[in-house]
Amino acid sequence: MAWLPANTPLVRLDGIADAAAVQAILYKDEGSRFGLGSFKALGGAYAVFSLLQGIVAEEIGRKVDVHELIDGSFRNLTEKVTVTCATDGNHGRSVAWGAQMFGCRCVIYVHEHVSLARQKAIAAYGAEVRVHPGNYDEAVRQAAADAAQNQWITVSDTSYEGYTVIPRDVMQGYGVALAESFAQMTPAERPTHVFMQAGVGGVAASFCSYLWERFGEEAPRFIVVEPERADCVYRTLEQGSPCHVKGELDTIMAGLACGEVSIIAWEILKTGMDAVMTITDQSARDAMCLLADAKFGDTPVVAGESAVAGLAGFLLAAQQPDSRKALGLDEKSVIYVFGTEGATDPYLYEEIVGRPAEVVAQPEVTA
């Protein structure tokens, strides 16, 4: 896409790697992506662009480019469209940003546990924010029902029976971050292991698919990491088919608080991943502080609660001899983890880390 800015950093955590007895840890820091604070900007906004591009092309008989939508050349067509979705925060912010940039209306549903800071961040892009009682999955169903009634278009990052096309666009957008990562690596840094967090599984499946397409049987081992209170991929693997984790899904890892795995994500993960593990909220807190404090001499990194799940999962596995053996972790292992967000809830970040994100030194953005 022509409007992509400079790449987000790939941070080398050499000090933590030495402490964990592996060759390297590569942390892709998405905190600066498009100024939105998370990787979700790659998915939701891209899907909004693709959707509006198709609608305009059908009307005028040709494909328009991104600049024609941004400059408002076809605002008379795009402003008639309303996009909607449910979100834990970051995806909705991306969809709202895309709607504002490309010129359509936007209604975003959040569940009652989404923080006010995240709601305000979405509304700042001109979206109408509606708070729905219950959890994320209930908000998804409400957004879909209202969309059907009002002839809105759902731009969701999760798929379900009868709804798969747009979520595939979202997943394709995510792949930009992994392609960037490989361009930033040296040949010696090719990962042997990827520890990837999952909510509904969209980004995990996107990365898993990319790795298999690029490396085939030589793809890195792929380990999915989830909050223990929102472990839909783990339970789906146990059951053998998509299942529904019920309840409040109460975890500080708000972006991963999902009770139902995306059906298209599951089709990829069920054969592409090597293992699934769950982590506690305390493990996420510890990983956030580890990155911020840089006590092993690494570059300090501002990482949100959901960003650190993969790193937290790796650190837990690295400390357990049985897990190291089962996953093939040794002094030659190169670990890739995806830092999905910065401090998208500044108040919670300060509460956990003990100081505001602004005073934690940030790595330079690399081209």
Q: Catalytic residues, which ones?
A: 40, 88
Is the torsion defined by CA of 209, 214, 217, 223 positive or negative? negative
Which string of DSSP letters, residue by residue, matches 107-124? EEEEETTS-HHHHHHHHT
Which string of DSSP letters, residue by residue, matches 173-196? HHHHHHHHHHHHS-GGG--SEEEE
> Per-residue b/e over 37-58, b at no fewer than 16 CB within 10 Å?
bbbbbbbbbbbbbbbbbebbee
Q: In what order do the strands lie in the sheet with 10-12?
A: 10-12, 24-29, 334-339, 193-197, 221-227, 275-279
Which string of DSSP letters, residue by residue, matches 251-281? -S-GGG--SB--HHHHHHHHHH-SEEEEE-H
Query: In sequence order, which residues have a C-beta less than 8 Å from that of residue 204 and are 6 or more positions away?
Result: 196, 197, 198, 224, 233, 265, 269, 273
Closest CA to 314 of 298, 336, 292, 296: 336
H or E element at residue 335:
strand 334-339
Q: Token digits for 99?
A: 């709607």
Burial class (CB in 10 A: 0-12, 13-18, 19+), 108: buried
Residues 152/84, Cβ–Cβ less than 8 Å:
yes
End-to-end CA distance of the chain: 16
CA distance linking residue 179 with residue 183, whole number of Å: 6
Which long-range contacts (C-beta less than 8 Å, at least 24 apart) are formed by 239-242? Answer: 242/266
